[in-house]
Homo-oligomer: A and B are copies of this chain.
Amino acid sequence: MARMNMIQAINSAMDICLANDQKVVVFGQDVGYFGGVFRATDRLQERHGETRVFDAPIAEGGIIATAVGMGAYGMRPVVEIQFADYIYPGTDQLISEAARLRYRTAGEWWSPITVRTPYGGGIYGGQTHSQSPEGIFTHVAGLKTVIPSNPYDAKGLLIAAIEDDDPVLFFEPKRLYNGPFDGHHDRPVTAWSKHPAGEVPEGHYQVPLGKAAVVRPGSAVTVLVYGTMVHVALAAAEETGIDAEVIDLRTLVPLDLETIVASVDKTGCCVIVHEATLTCGFGAELAALVQQHCFYSLEAPIERVAGWDTPYPHAFEWDYFPGPARVGAALRRAVER
């Protein structure tokens, strides 16, 4: 066991996969010599060589395209898109190619790529360094979408993603890299080293894709969250004293519907929180599924707390970010039915 923050855990996952499997390669903008603008690939080139860990041109479309080609050859490329906000030039290769290659060839070819990318706000990144575009990709059949909320899961899920034979989008909540930020931007963030999930095995392990985690058992209301919002929801539960059951989805596609339905059938109400814009965000799918599968146990409307339907405004970051106050208010509305 070692104490790791999220960056170190992610770095360790890639380090281990590079060591275990010669077919794994890691590349992206500034990831090679420099080790990544967030240091996620720090020292990996030094350890594994320039042909396995290298810098890429500033062409997200080209990065994903060549990764798909390498995957078709038989490699397991792990690429970094420097910010999720810059993934769009790669959407065609992700949606039209990576997601469909196995299907259109009836399994003759596939593309076992992992696309790592930091997402979410809270760092004054404005509209182009704060986005949460997961909802665009969860709509695409053939892609898997994973979003960890702590170092332990981050390492285990990333190893599982790299070793998975389907294309996986791995969104990293950049605001959590250094600690379990709970939305109280006016308070210091406790370091991961002081958090149980900062305890990370040094060696190889997987956290299976497609399995959610009940991070706080409760009976009053079910809260569906992932990434940064996990810690916001936990804070809101503590601060309101509401006995909320907080479920960290961890994988959005494929979704662990069983765990969700069991919880909502028990609590009778559900609050969904994400940082992405509300309309057509992943929360919409969650709400649609919950009302379909738990209709007769629901005692109140499902509440969605999400980013407003605007770009992320630089100066009003904390009015935009769905913090503990907004989530707490939603919890109250849910239980005061």
Interface residue ranges, A against B (CB under 8 Å) = 61, 85, 88-89, 91-92, 95-96, 100, 103-104, 127-128, 135-136, 138-142, 253, 276-277, 279-285, 287-288, 291-292, 295, 298, 300-304, 309-311
Contact = CB atoms under 8 A, between A and B. Distances in A.
A164 B103 CA distance: 40
A295 B301 contact: yes
B92 A104 contact: no
Given A88-B95, A92-B89, A139-B279, A288 B310 contact: no
A84 to B, nearest CB: 12
A141 B278 CA distance: 9
A281 B288 CA distance: 10
Contact of A288 (B88, B127, B142, B287): B287
A103 B282 CA distance: 24
Nearest to A89: B92
A141 B310 contact: yes
Contact of A92 (B88, B291, B292): B88
Given A141-B309, A292-B302, A295-B301, A128 B96 contact: yes
Contacts of A310: 103, 141
B280 A135 contact: yes
21 contacts: A88-B92, A89-B92, A91-B92, A96-B128, A100-B311, A103-B310, A104-B127, A104-B311, A136-B136, A138-B280, A140-B277, A141-B279, A141-B311, A279-B285, A280-B280, A280-B282, A284-B284, A284-B285, A288-B304, A292-B302, A292-B303
A284 B292 contact: no
A133 to B, nearest CB: 8
Contacts of A253: 279
A277 to B, nearest CB: 5
Nearest to A85: B96
B279 A138 contact: yes
A55 to B, nearest CB: 21
B282 A292 contact: no
A135 B127 contact: no
B141 A277 contact: yes
